[in-house]
Amino acid sequence: MRDHSEVLDRIRRGLLYTESEASFQDPLRRADLVFEYNATPPGDGERRRALLERILGSVGARTVLLSPFHAGFGSNVHIGDDFFGNVNLTFVDDVEIRIGDGVMIAPSVTLTTTGHPIHPGLREDFRRFSEPIVIEDKVWIGSNVVVLPGVRIGYGSVIGAGSVVSRDVPPMSVALGVPARVVRQITDADLRPPGR
């Protein structure tokens, strides 16, 4: 059995590694289980929950994850309590994605922990780097958002639809755009219902 500690160390440090070097991790991929989950009727909550527990690294109580969803591994995704993930949520989870409690994610969002070098000479054998993503409690992510490697989205924040999040977002902030920028803080004035 080969010692893969050097490759794992590079992965943990966000340094470049190749598909071939990381292939020893393939048994951690849950592609068949993800396929089975996506083919399971929405009304079969018990079966869907059992599959999620086998797919994800950890999953909290009262989790809703609508089909279809996609995951590179699945086993590197950790979801807290009271999570709602809408259709077409994609986890590119070569390293950990940690999602807190009370998080809502709208349709067609991509959370990608992995990127590739700019220069084509460095992209042979799908060379890449990976950095974890953290989404803290009570975050709401709008439709068609992309969250890039190494990003932390702080407690209670809102990410506007169509945004590309390339840097950390502080707690209780509204961020939007390409690239996403903080446009304002969330305050008690936001406790008023919309339209009033």
Range of the domain at 43: 5-187
Domain membership of residue 148 (yes or no) is yes
Residues labelled as active-site residues: 116
Q: Is residue 1 over pLDDT 60?
A: no
Express each pLDDT in 113-171 by its tens digit.
Answer: 999 999 999 999 999 999 999 999 999 999 999 999 999 999 999 999 999 999 999 99
Q: If 0-12 CB within 10 Å is exposed, 13-18 middle and 19+ buried, where does residue 3 land?
A: exposed
pTM of the entire predicted model: 0.93
* Residue 195 maps to a domain: no
Residue 72 has pLDDT above 50, yes or no: yes
The label of the residue with tokens 């506007």 reads 160
Q: Is residue 13 part of a domain?
A: yes
Q: How many structural domains is the chain composed of?
A: 1
Residue 193 placed within a domain: no
Residue 165 lies in a domain: yes
